[in-house]
Each structure stands twice: as C-alpha cells, then as structure tokens.
Amino acid sequence: MLRIGMICPYSLTIPGGVQHQVLGLARSLRAKGHEVRVLGPCDGPPPESFVTPLGNSFLNATNGSVAPLAPDPSATLRTIRALNDEAFDVLHIHEPLAPGPPMTSLLLKLAPIVGTFHSAGESVGYRTLQRQLNWLIKRCDVRTAVSKDALELAQRYFPGEYEVLYNGIELERYKSTEIVSRENAIFFIGRHEPRKGLEVLIKAVIQMPDDVVLWIASDGSETADLMQRYGHLTKVKWLGRISDTEKYLRLRSCAVFCAPSLHGESFGVVLLEAMAAGAPVVASALDGYKNVATHDVDALLVEPGNVTQLASALARVIADPRLSARLVQAGILQADGHSMASLSTKFEDLYYQALTIEAADGSVHRTPRMLKMFESRILRRSYSAIKRKV
C-alpha cells in the first residue's frame, strides 16, 4: 500500500475534465487498497471525503478557457502544511507547471513525483517562462501526457521522456441494466465558453425539425449571453449544472450526444463517457477527439464550426436506427478499452518507478532550503530508509 498525494490545480467543486480524471483515478487507486488524498482548491464543501481543500480558486484565462486556479499565498501555505503533515510516499501532480499547489509541490519536492500534462495547443505561460520552468520540471521524476497532442505541447517547451497514458473512465458508473426509453433529444454537457462550440450546436438544432430537443447542461461565461439570444426557443432546454446521476441518465436516454468543440481539446474523455453509456456520438473532427473516435465507425465527426454539416450528421443519427445502433456497439467496445481500473494499474507501476529512482539516488530527496528551519518536523522518510528498516 502506498500513501499517494494527488495534486489538482483546478477547483474540485467546479466541473472540469482534469478534476474528473483526478477524482476518478483516486477512487480507483483507493479501491486497490492505496491510501490516496487529493489536494486542490475547493469553492465549497469537498466533493469526496478523501479531498483536502486548499482554499478558494480564482478564475484565470488560459488556452481559450477560464481555469479556476489557486495561486495565492494562503493556498501555498496550506499546500506546504498538507504535504508535510500527510508524509506521502509519492506525489502525482496534474499539470505540474500550473501556478498554485502543483508548482508549490514541485518546488518543495517532499516525495518522488509523477507529473501528468493535460493541456494541448499553445501555452503563453510555457512560451514566456520556458527557461525558468525548464529548471522546475527537472524536479519531476516521471512525466506522462494524456494524449499525443498534450505530449507535443509539453515536449515543444520541455524536452525529455514522457509516457502517453490516455485518460480513463469509471465504466461501472456509466453502464446500467436499467432499461431507459430513448427521447428525441440531443445532449450537450460542458463549459459554456467559445471554444466548446455551443452556439454552433444551437444554430444546427434550429435547422432541425421541431420535435428535436436540445438538452444543455452546465454553465459558463457564455451562458447569460446565449440564453438572452436563444432562451425563447422551446426546443432548447437549459438544465444548468446537473448531478452525476442525472448526467448518466441523460446519456442513456438521449438520441445522440454532441461535442461541437472548435479547438483546444487534448483528449475526448466526454466522448468515451457517452460511448460507455450507450449514446451515439456526433463530434467535431479535432485531433484530440480523434484519439478516441473514428469517423463512421464509433462516431460521426464533422468539420469544426460547420453548422450545416453538424445539423446533417445529427439528423442522420436520429433518423437512422441502424446507423445509431452501429455507432453505439462500436462505441461501447472503444470505451471498454479505456477503463480507469486499467489506467490506475499503469500509474501504480510509475509510482514504484519513481520510488525506485529515489532509492537509487538519495540526492533525489532533500529538504528544501526554505524548510531547513523546520527539518525536524518533516515527517516523510525516504523510500530507501523505509526499505532498510524492513
């Protein structure tokens, strides 16, 4: 059994792909017997009993989106205290170069570190601070990326060895023996911001027959503006933030799930979730989505931003039961190959690899200069010292 500290840069009480991966991976590792605690900002009660909140987040513009980060001094102090008090055997830092708890954890390095890069596309921060960040990332013992697109961004600025480990999904949460009747509805869930392409989807649905309904879940920076312009449409249902239970139900009961993003997607975990639940998928033909979806095999992929193509693809899936059934069956097989249980096993190997690196070189674990005055209170012992005692 390992004591694993999992560091999340984004608020764990705000829906997001990275947060979803962090919590899901933690649950899977805990099910295997490991003692896992997730450290991250929380803007409200922690979503799980194993979460240690590090304070509130602040919205920061990044990669065409808005990220709820916690780069403030109070979050830094809470991170230092939690890392010391918990005495983790290994740290798993998601987005290790993000300001706030990830960067603090990397700087302190109170345990061997596995770092996972999620972002794809471009990063102004990486480009501007490349020299300083290159020094910092060398404190990471093992590096991973969630897709070839995330790998390309990381290696562009921080050359080195990375292992690509695709995101996973908790299959048992999406599959059900309960029989649910399909509704003539298109389901969208995601942040309401320009890069997610929600307005493109709304315009596509306007072109479709009146008996087609669009379910829009979640919210974001565009919500108020979009509702002002399209709120009068009776075929558009604004659901707001919904529970996981409702999300699973709507995925199983919709006629088609749609992900109309325009750019900035490193991996199509939302597509896998829909596939696992048995929903046919229509999505944009982005590189990140092509990591998990193949056109006319397990999804229909269309040109990003093309309203006419999107409307046509959605109409085809709804009107053709044979096409829908074919996409569903292929999608289930695709989702089965991305289980969180399998992913957690691969990360177990990397955690032990990081510990072996430390055991072979005691210099990997040193008390940081800034904590020398508190050295007697540093609780974590090196892996090599533990092995010698055993």
**pLDDT for the residue numbered 389:** 43
Q: Find the domain containing 39 and state its range.
A: 3-168+339-389
**Strands laid side by side in the 163-164 sheet:** 51-53, 35-40, 3-7, 90-94, 113-117, 142-145, 163-164
Q: How many residues does the chain have?
A: 390
Within 10 angstroms of residue 245's Cβ, the number of other Cβ atoms is: 9
Residues 47 and 105 in one domain: yes
Q: 211 and 160, same structural domain? A: no
Please tell me whether residues 161 and 17 are part of one structural domain. yes
**Confidence label for 385 from pLDDT (cuts 50, 70 and 90):** very low
Burial 141-161 (b: 16+ CB within 10 A, else e): bbbbbbbbbbbebbeebbeee
Backbone angles phi, psi at 122, to 5 degrees: -135, 155
Task: Determine the Cα–Cα distance for residues 69 and 332; give it in Å rounded to an integer.
Answer: 34
Spatial contact of 268 and 197, defined as CB atoms under 8 Å apart = no
Q: CA nearest 356: which of 58, 110, 112?
A: 112
Q: Any bridge partners for residue 237, and if so which? A: 215
Structure pTM?
0.84
What three-state secondary structure class fits 188? strand
Given 320, 336, 352, the domain boundary residue is 336
Written as one string, the DSSP assignment of 134-147 is HHHHTT-SEEEESS
Closest CA to 91 of 365, 340, 384, 318: 365
Question: Is it the case that residue 254 has pLDDT exceeding 90?
Answer: yes
Token duo for residue 67: 């990220």
CB 242 within 8 A of CB 250: yes
Residues 321 and 242 in one domain: yes
Domain end marker among 321, 336, 351: 336
Number of independent structural domains in the chain: 2
Rounded to whole angstroms, the Cα distance separating 210 from 215 reads: 14
Beta-strand ranges (E) seen in 251-314 are 256-259, 281-284, 300-302
As a whole number, mean pLDDT of residues 186-208 equals 96
**Do residues 43 and 139 both lie within one domain?**
yes
Q: What is the pLDDT of residues 111-136, one digit of tens each?
A: 999 999 999 888 888 999 999 999 99
Q: Per the structure block, which two tokens stand in for 315? A: 């109409």
d(CA 214, CA 205): 7
pLDDT of 384 reads 45
Q: What is the pLDDT of residues 230-246, one digit of tens each?
A: 999 999 999 999 999 99
* Per-residue pLDDT, 66: 78
pLDDT at residue number 376: 55
25 and 162: one domain?
Answer: yes
Instruction: Report the distance separating Cα 218 and Cα 214, nearest Å.
Output: 13
Residues 304 and 348 in one domain: no
pLDDT tens digit sequence for 24-62: 999 999 999 999 999 999 999 999 999 999 999 998 876
- Whether residues 159 and 180 fall in one domain: no
Q: What is the CATH number of the domain that holds 291?
A: 3.40.50.2000
Q: Are residues 106 and 135 in the same domain?
A: yes
Q: Which of 34-38, 195-199, 372-376 has the lowest mean pLDDT?
A: 372-376
Structure tokens at 143: 């590096």
One domain, residues 262 and 163: no
Report pLDDT for 380. 54
Crossing angle of helices 130-137/101-108, nearest 10°? Answer: 60
Query: What is the DSSP code (8-state) at residue 381?
Result: P
Confidence grade of residue 371 (pLDDT, cut at 50, 70, 90): low
Who's near 361: CB < 8 A, 6+ residues apart?
none
Query: Is residue 286 located within the same domain as residue 164?
Result: no
Q: Domain ends where: 298, 318, 336? A: 336
Quote the percentage of the chain above a pLDDT of 70.
91
The reply to whether 254 and 350 lie within a common domain is no
**200 is written with which tokens?**
């493109």
